[in-house]
Amino acid sequence: MSQPTTPPAEGITRRDMFKGLGATLGLAAYAKALAPLTEWKPFESVEDFLQKHYSELSAVDLEVVLKRIEKDTKKQYGADVQVSADRPQPGVKFGYALNLSICIGCRKCAEACHKENNHDRPSHQSYIRVLEMSNGSLDLEKGNAHYDHPVPAKDKFYMPIQCQQCDHPPCVDVCPVEATWKEPDGIVVVDYNWCIGCRYCEAACPYHARRFNWSKPQIPAAEINPVQGYLSNRIRPQGVMEKCTFCLHRTRNGKLPACLEACPTGARVFGNLLDPDSEIRWVLQNKRVFVLKEELGTKPQFFYFFDA
Amino acid sequence: MPESATTVPSGAAEFWRQYPRFLARVLWEAFDGSRLFYAWMTLLTAVFLVGANAWAVQVRDGLAVTAMSDHVSWGLYIANFTFLVGLAAGGVMMVIPAYLYHDEEMHDVVIIGELLAVAAIVMAIMFVTVDLGRPDRFWHLIPPFGRFNFPVSMLTWDVLVLNGYLLLNLHICGYLLYMRFIGRKPNPKWYVPFVFLSIVWAISIHTVTAFLYCGLGGRPFWNTALLAPRFLASAFVSGPAFIIIAIQIVRRVIHSDFGEGPIRTLLNIMRVTILINLLMVGSEVFVEFYTGGSHTSAAHYLYFGLHGHNALVPWIWSSVVMTVIAAGLLLSPRAVADRRLLNLACVLAFAGIWIEKGMGLIIPGFIPSTLHEVVEYLPSVMEWKITAGIWALGFMIYTVAIKVTINVMGAGRRHFSVLPPEA
Ligand code: SF4
Ligand code: SF4
């Protein structure tokens, strides 16, 4: 390296031949190393790749996208599904409340979520975690999500936790590409076709409410729930974030969330916070409710209360 | 030097004639050199290819090939990213003495630090890229087609400041080398303002990167105002540590003896910064452990383990031991004359901070999780391969950049300078 070398003007020397050989081998090695990329199928079509952000899709665009997703689901999973994009209804803001006095920790809600939302089967994914807590403490640190004995156990109470649909959602603030946002009816959603998978929102959420698709979800055709929403329970692509959406494909059509329907004790109360006659409003007015980690200022729209 | 050194025509035509030749020369330098150079580059290429292959598999099969989970959702990649942003910022510790204090000798070698910034930022950006679940959607970040959540998302700030810092340093180094190549005196108007901007900018990249973490209210371990100052203090240890070693290697390769003064200046800087860094670590440790309570369980996990889980304990104590020994060595009067001792101190400080600003900072943010579950994390083999690959690429970039610099300037010079002497 002591002399600056300049390109030789003419003639091919041995050195050049070695260099040529080296370059060829090098290129071959590069091709070999990157070969797995050829088996990577992040999108089924160019339109898929170029798809715009959800909020920028026209009605026609959206129709095309929904059809394409149905087709791709058929192709990849062998299931016939209907994907809709229900809009939030004016005058509706959803809230959820949970009665800790009667929850028995059976995890039926978590199971219902698993099926309703077409979660990955092998990992037994669900948006709901149920913590077993000891009487006398509301400290989450004393909770245990991995209890494995008949419930309810003596001197324990149970606290299911899912997305709190915060009014000040830190997950939304941190997203660099606006792939996640809060809808007018209060539900925080993710555009699975826009998320780049940086997982900043997962770090920002104080309630462990977000889930990442570390690999392509696996689910047998027969078990797929065919009633699907673009922003909710359609099968998520690999490498993107997902979360609880209060089953918006159901609740925006007047139904109740799957977790509520599955609860055998009636511990869950769901409804429109803007409707003064709703059951959720009755709970907020007549029970002493609290929210998790209130000190963080996230303003959860998921409330807990005790009966007695 | 090419013959153009004597002819001094100017204007755009000249630029378009010369600039491609300059680039060709840079490319030529990258592929031509001594046996040692070939051996080194081949080794790095091999490591890089192992990493590239692992990355291709990761992209195909998903991030499930890493050891990350919904509990510990960032790992070795983001740890390295954080450290490298610091390394890039650390290069500025040569720029400040050179330009603010008119340290003539430092002025001569300052490009070693600026090129380090370039290589480190490229690596940092690559670490973020390999961490993405959907690299194919990278364009979603770029307006007008993408949607850039600026200024709310700190990550968008980071994208801006990191790329800005890269461009700044590329411009400064590229301009000086090009002028040298065509044999003209660089016009201070075209680089001095950028150099001053780069000083402020260097502080900003590490501050913004700290804000990524400390702005998250749900992660008590990161949610401390001391994070950004701590980042800076440690950056000003790791940067100079690397540069001291780099200067000595370059000297040996080109049989020169430049850089004694700068090494001493950098040593003096490290003597202060490493103590400030230790002071801040100590102060945080005090608050965590004296106060107690559940907010401190992450620090507990990091230093002593929690509920029988202690994967990070050996990491952090190695870091503590290495940093303390390094501080002791640096402060000893012998460090000035005894090169072996100084180099050992630099290696220890560098490794200690790599752990502290990497695994020791990122992982405890997730353990225990926000619902206080303890799920541990140790990087998978795939993550190590990809990490090694990116470091190899960084070393390749740095090696070629330094080699171009040496050869464009003409080898064997006592002064290793692309700059005109200061007025
Ligand atoms: S609970 Fe988490 S995911 Fe849900 S809105 Fe709040 S911060 Fe976002
Ligand atoms: S993982 Fe997706 S939704 Fe979450 S912050 Fe990153 S881009 Fe946004």
d(CA B327, CA B352): 11
Angle, helices B339-356 vs B227-253, to 10°: value is 140
Q: Do B218 and A40 touch (CB under 8 A)?
A: no
Could you identify the residue written with the tokens 């101190």? Answer: B345
Encode pLDDT of B179-199 as tens digits: 888 888 889 999 999 999 999
Quick one: tokens of A307?
């009966």
Of B24, B56, B62, the CB nearest to A37: B56
CB atoms within 10 A of CB B96: 19
Answer with the residue of higher pLDDT: B419 or B200: B200
- Average pLDDT taken over every residue of chain A: 94
User: Which of B142, B203, B202 lies closest to B172 in space, CA to CA?
Assistant: B202
Angle, helices B76-90 vs B381-409, to 10°: value is 20
Strands A302-305 and A94-99: parallel
- Closest ligand to C-alpha of residue A129 is 1
pLDDT for position A157: 96
Cβ atoms B234, B353 nearer than 8 A: yes
**How close is the nearest chain A Cα to the Cα of B219, in Å?**
7
pLDDT for position B3: 40
d(CA A91, CA A89): 6
* A24-28, A218-222, B11-15, B24-28: which is most confident: A218-222
Average pLDDT of the segment spanning B363-391: 97
Q: How far is CA A305 from the centre of its chain?
A: 26
Q: Would you give the end-to-end CA distance of chain A in angstroms?
A: 83
pLDDT for position A11: 63
d(CA A267, CA A264): 8
Encode pLDDT of A54-69 as tens digits: 999 999 999 999 999 9
Strands A188-190 and A180-182: antiparallel
pLDDT of B412 higher than 50? no
Query: How many angstroms is it from A112 CA to the middle of ligand 1?
Result: 20
Residue by residue, DSSP assigns B130-161 as HH-S-GGGGGGGSTTTS---TTT-HHHHHHHH
Quick one: tokens of B73?
């959702």
Encode pLDDT of B125-160 as tens digits: 999 999 999 999 999 999 888 999 999 999 999 999
Query: How many angstroms is it from B209 CA to the middle of ligand 1?
Result: 23
Encode pLDDT of A106-136 as tens digits: 999 999 999 999 999 999 999 999 999 999 9
CA angle B419, B422, B423 (to 5 degrees): 140
Kindly report the length of chain A.
Answer: 308
Q: How much is the CA Rg of chain B, to the nearest whole Å?
A: 22
pLDDT of B25 higher than 50? yes
Nearest CA to ligand 1 atom 4: A163
| Ligand 2 pocket, mutate which of A54, A190, A191 (most atoms under 8 A from CB) | A190
Encode pLDDT of B211-252 as tens digits: 999 999 999 999 999 999 999 999 999 999 999 999 999 888
pLDDT for position B416: 62
pLDDT for position B32: 83
Alpha helices in B292-336 (DSSP H): 297-304, 313-331
Q: Do B141 and A177 touch (CB under 8 A)?
A: yes
Encode pLDDT of B48-102 as tens digits: 999 999 999 999 999 999 999 999 999 999 999 999 999 999 988 889 999 988 8
CB atoms within 10 A of CB A90: 8
Q: Which residues touch A82 (CB under 8 Å, ≥6 apart)?
A: A70, A226, A227, A228
Encode pLDDT of A207-228 as tens digits: 999 999 999 999 999 999 999 9
- Rounded to 5 degrees, φ, ψ at A150 are -60, 145
Q: Would you give the end-to-end CA distance of chain B in angstroms?
A: 25
Encode pLDDT of B344-372 as tens digits: 999 999 999 999 999 999 999 999 999 99
Query: How many angstroms is it from A291 CA to the middle of ligand 1?
Result: 13
Please list every residue in chain B whose beta carbon sits closer than 8 Å to the beta carbon of residue A204.
216, 218
| pLDDT level of residue B5 (50, 70, 90 thresholds) | very low
Q: Which residues touch B394 (CB under 8 Å, ≥6 apart)?
A: B84, B119, B120, B122, B123
Residue by residue, DSSP assigns A118-143 as T--TTTT--S-EEEEEETT---GGG-
Cβ atoms A206, A298 nearer than 8 A: yes
Could you identify the residue written with the tokens 């430049």? Answer: B258
- Average pLDDT taken over every residue of chain B: 91
Interface of B with A in 72-91 (CB under 8 A): 73-74
pLDDT for position B324: 96
Its ipTM equals: 0.92
Residue of B nearest to A238 (CA): B62
d(CA B244, CA B419): 20
Kindly list the protein residues whose Cβ atom lies closer than 6 A to any atom of ligand 1. Answer: A 163-166, 169-171, 188, 205, 207, 209-210, 243, 298
Encode pLDDT of A195-205 as tens digits: 999 999 999 99
- Proportion of chain B above pLDDT 70, given as a percent: 94
Most distant CA atoms of chain B, gap in Å: 74
Of B53, B61, B216, the CB nearest to A33: B53
Cβ atoms B417, B179 nearer than 8 A: no
The identity of residue B133, as a single letter, is: G
Alpha helices in chain A (DSSP H): 14-34, 46-50, 59-77, 108-116, 170-174, 200-204, 248-251, 258-262, 279-286
Residue boundaries of the structural domains of chain A: 33-93+107-161+170-253
Encode pLDDT of B336-346 as tens digits: 999 999 999 99
pLDDT for position B419: 64
pLDDT for position B415: 53
Cβ atoms B63, A213 nearer than 8 A: no
pLDDT for position A67: 97
d(CA A23, CA B124): 28
d(CA B242, CA A1): 22
pLDDT of B308 higher than 60? yes
d(CA B133, CA A239): 4
Strands A94-99 and A268-272: antiparallel
Encode pLDDT of A59-102 as tens digits: 999 999 999 999 999 999 999 999 999 999 999 999 999 999 99
pLDDT for position B296: 87
Kindly list the protein residues whose Cβ atom lies closer than 6 A to any atom of ligand 2. Answer: A 174-175, 177, 179-180, 190, 195-201, 241
Quick one: tokens of B119?
């290589």
pLDDT for position A44: 77
Residue by residue, DSSP assigns B274-293 as HHHHHHHHHHHHHHHHHH-S
d(CA B307, CA A272): 42
DSSP 8-state class, residue B98: I
CA angle B345, B347, B350 (to 5 degrees): 105
Cβ atoms B77, B130 nearer than 8 A: yes
Average pLDDT of the segment spanning B243-265: 90
d(CA B408, CA B178): 9
d(CA B21, CA A232): 56
Q: Do A239 and B255 touch (CB under 8 A)?
A: no
Judged by a CB distance cut-off of 8 A, whether residue B218 touches chain A is: yes
d(CA A8, CA A4): 12
d(CA B130, CA B224): 28
d(CA B21, CA B412): 23
Q: What structural domains does chain B harbor?
A: 20-409 (1.20.1630.10)
pLDDT for position B410: 61
CA dihedral A179, A182, A183, A187 (to 10 degrees): 110
| pLDDT level of residue A20 (50, 70, 90 thresholds) | confident
